[in-house]
Amino acid sequence: MKLLIINGPNLNMLGIREPAIYGTATYQDLEKLVRLTCQNHHINHHMIQSNHEGVLIDAIGDAYGNYDAIIINPAAYTHTSIAILDALKAVGLPTVEVHLTDTKTREAFRHQSYVSQYAESTIMGKGINGYTTAILYLKEKLSKKSKAGE
């Protein structure tokens, strides 16, 4: 299984940006958690972070034919980017949306998620551990799909 993990704007500031809201875990802590989870479950992965919408869209497009699934935390683009939604639809890969906080309990403008219109699962409010949940969800889904195809 090959997994692409995409992180949007300001996630590079984890541990610094509003720790009362986003927690004290850093982006390096997130990278380590993802790396160890993937190693323990024999999953190949690539993780990127960008503050630029076009870079995220290019990464989604490049996933076509190269990855089996996508985990995405589009951050602020969750609420604004139809272009990211369109890119996800175009590549047609199983996708899980992750948010560190529960966006439904925050400001009203954070309640809208364009990505949720495509993602088959949304994991919110678990901090960086939401990524582990997403990885294991996709591993189970893809292993069932693989066994069904044998």
pTM, two decimals, is: 0.92
Crossing angle (nearest 10°) for helices 129-149 and 27-40: 30
Catalytic positions are: 22, 99
Structure tokens at 37: 């989870």
Residues 39, 52: Cα–Cα separation, whole Å: 29
Q: What is the secondary structure of 33-77 as a DSSP string? A: HHHHHHHHTT-EEEEEE-S-HHHHHHHHHHHTTT-SEEEEE-GGG
Count other C-beta atoms under 10 Å from residue 9's C-beta.
17
- Mind listing the domains of the chain with CATH numbers? 2-74+82-129 (3.40.50.9100)
What Rg, from alpha-carbon coordinates, does the chain have?
15
Residue-wise pLDDT tens for the chain (150 aa)? 999 999 999 999 999 988 887 888 999 999 999 999 999 999 999 999 999 999 999 999 999 999 999 999 999 999 889 999 999 999 999 999 999 988 777 667 666 799 999 999 999 999 999 999 999 999 999 998 777 765
